[in-house]
Amino acid sequence: MSVDMNMNILIVDDYKTMLRIIRNLLKQLGFNNVDEATDGSMALQKLRDKDYGLVISDWNMEPMTGIQLLREVRADSKLKALPFIMITAESKTENVVAAKEAGVNNYIVKPFNAATLKTKLSSVLGNF
Protein backbone atom coordinates (compact mmCIF):
# COMPACT_ATOMS: atom_id res chain seq x y z
CA MET A 1 0.00 0.00 0.00
CA SER A 2 1.39 3.38 -1.00
CA VAL A 3 1.83 6.18 1.46
CA ASP A 4 -0.56 9.11 1.13
CA MET A 5 1.86 11.99 0.76
CA ASN A 6 -1.02 14.44 1.22
CA MET A 7 -1.94 13.16 4.65
CA ASN A 8 -2.15 15.65 7.49
CA ILE A 9 0.69 15.31 9.96
CA LEU A 10 0.64 16.89 13.40
CA ILE A 11 3.99 17.75 14.98
CA VAL A 12 4.09 18.58 18.70
CA ASP A 13 6.99 20.28 20.48
CA ASP A 14 7.35 23.16 22.94
CA TYR A 15 10.42 24.46 21.07
CA LYS A 16 9.41 26.50 18.04
CA THR A 17 12.78 25.91 16.41
CA MET A 18 12.29 22.14 16.66
CA LEU A 19 8.84 22.44 15.06
CA ARG A 20 10.42 24.41 12.26
CA ILE A 21 13.21 21.85 11.76
CA ILE A 22 10.82 18.87 11.67
CA ARG A 23 8.45 20.71 9.33
CA ASN A 24 11.33 21.51 6.94
CA LEU A 25 12.62 17.93 6.99
CA LEU A 26 9.12 16.56 6.36
CA LYS A 27 8.77 18.99 3.46
CA GLN A 28 12.04 17.70 2.00
CA LEU A 29 10.60 14.19 2.23
CA GLY A 30 7.49 15.30 0.35
CA PHE A 31 5.01 15.86 3.20
CA ASN A 32 3.57 19.35 2.89
CA ASN A 33 0.44 19.23 5.07
CA VAL A 34 1.95 19.75 8.47
CA ASP A 35 0.26 21.33 11.48
CA GLU A 36 1.90 22.29 14.78
CA ALA A 37 1.05 22.18 18.48
CA THR A 38 3.18 23.23 21.44
CA ASP A 39 1.91 20.77 24.04
CA GLY A 40 -0.20 17.66 24.45
CA SER A 41 -3.50 19.35 25.26
CA MET A 42 -3.31 21.63 22.23
CA ALA A 43 -2.41 18.61 20.11
CA LEU A 44 -5.34 16.58 21.44
CA GLN A 45 -7.75 19.36 20.54
CA LYS A 46 -6.37 19.52 16.98
CA LEU A 47 -6.56 15.73 16.62
CA ARG A 48 -10.23 15.80 17.59
CA ASP A 49 -10.99 18.67 15.20
CA LYS A 50 -9.31 17.34 12.04
CA ASP A 51 -8.25 14.05 10.44
CA TYR A 52 -4.56 13.29 10.74
CA GLY A 53 -2.51 10.40 9.37
CA LEU A 54 0.41 10.72 11.80
CA VAL A 55 1.50 12.38 15.03
CA ILE A 56 5.16 13.18 15.74
CA SER A 57 5.46 14.34 19.34
CA ASP A 58 8.08 15.48 21.82
CA TRP A 59 7.89 14.02 25.35
CA ASN A 60 8.85 16.81 27.74
CA MET A 61 6.18 19.51 27.49
CA GLU A 62 3.81 21.33 29.83
CA PRO A 63 1.04 21.11 30.81
CA MET A 64 0.41 17.84 28.95
CA THR A 65 3.45 15.72 28.15
CA GLY A 66 3.96 13.56 25.08
CA ILE A 67 3.37 10.31 26.97
CA GLN A 68 0.10 11.68 28.37
CA LEU A 69 -0.94 12.69 24.86
CA LEU A 70 -0.11 9.19 23.62
CA ARG A 71 -2.25 7.60 26.38
CA GLU A 72 -5.14 9.96 25.59
CA VAL A 73 -4.90 9.07 21.89
CA ARG A 74 -4.88 5.33 22.59
CA ALA A 75 -7.83 5.70 24.97
CA ASP A 76 -9.91 7.57 22.39
CA SER A 77 -12.02 5.24 20.25
CA LYS A 78 -11.68 7.48 17.17
CA LEU A 79 -7.95 8.10 17.51
CA LYS A 80 -6.62 4.88 18.98
CA ALA A 81 -5.23 3.53 15.67
CA LEU A 82 -3.42 6.78 14.78
CA PRO A 83 0.31 6.22 14.07
CA PHE A 84 2.34 7.96 16.75
CA ILE A 85 6.10 8.62 16.72
CA MET A 86 7.83 9.96 19.83
CA ILE A 87 10.77 12.27 19.10
CA THR A 88 12.56 13.22 22.30
CA ALA A 89 15.78 13.74 24.27
CA GLU A 90 14.45 11.29 26.89
CA SER A 91 16.64 8.33 26.02
CA LYS A 92 16.53 6.13 29.13
CA THR A 93 15.42 2.55 28.71
CA GLU A 94 12.55 3.14 31.13
CA ASN A 95 11.25 5.94 28.90
CA VAL A 96 11.30 3.80 25.80
CA VAL A 97 9.63 0.94 27.68
CA ALA A 98 6.92 3.27 29.05
CA ALA A 99 6.28 4.69 25.58
CA LYS A 100 6.09 1.20 24.07
CA GLU A 101 3.68 0.08 26.77
CA ALA A 102 1.55 3.16 26.08
CA GLY A 103 1.36 2.16 22.40
CA VAL A 104 3.98 4.23 20.57
CA ASN A 105 4.73 3.10 17.01
CA ASN A 106 8.32 4.29 16.93
CA TYR A 107 10.81 6.34 18.92
CA ILE A 108 13.44 8.86 17.73
CA VAL A 109 16.09 10.21 20.09
CA LYS A 110 17.18 13.85 19.80
CA PRO A 111 19.44 15.02 18.32
CA PHE A 112 18.39 13.15 15.21
CA ASN A 113 19.20 13.36 11.52
CA ALA A 114 17.08 13.38 8.38
CA ALA A 115 17.99 9.79 7.50
CA THR A 116 16.72 8.52 10.87
CA LEU A 117 13.47 10.44 10.46
CA LYS A 118 12.94 8.93 6.98
CA THR A 119 13.71 5.41 8.24
CA LYS A 120 11.25 5.71 11.12
CA LEU A 121 8.53 7.18 8.91
CA SER A 122 8.95 4.30 6.48
CA SER A 123 8.79 1.85 9.35
CA VAL A 124 5.49 3.27 10.56
CA LEU A 125 3.80 4.33 7.30
CA GLY A 126 5.42 2.02 4.75
CA ASN A 127 8.02 2.83 2.12
CA PHE A 128 7.66 6.06 0.20
Partner 1 sequence: MTKIAKSSDAGMPPELNARLSELQVQSRSPSREDVAEVVSEMLQSLEGDLSEVNLKVYSELEGLAKYILAAKREIAALRPDDITSEHLPKATDELDAIVGSTEEATNGILQAMELLEGLTPQMPAEIAEQVTNAVTQVYESCNFQDITGQRITKVVKTLKHIEDRVEALVAAFGDEIQKYRETHLREEPQQPKSTDEKLLNGPQLPDDAGKQADIDALLASFD
Name the H helices within 1-128.
16-29, 40-49, 66-75, 93-102, 114-125
The one segment of 2-10, 24-32, 45-53, 74-82 that binds partner 1 by CB under 8 A = 24-32
Q: How far is the CB of 55 from partner 1 (least distance, A)?
A: 18
The residues with which 87 forms a beta bridge, in sequence order, are: 108
Residue 20 as a binder of partner 1 (CB under 8 A): the answer is yes
- Cα separation of 60 and 112, whole Å? 16
By beta-carbon proximity to partner 1, the closer residue of 18 and 124 is: 18
Paired strand residues for 37: 12
Task: Enumerate binding residues for partner 1 (CB under 8 A).
Answer: 13, 15-18, 20-21, 24-25, 28, 60, 89, 110-114
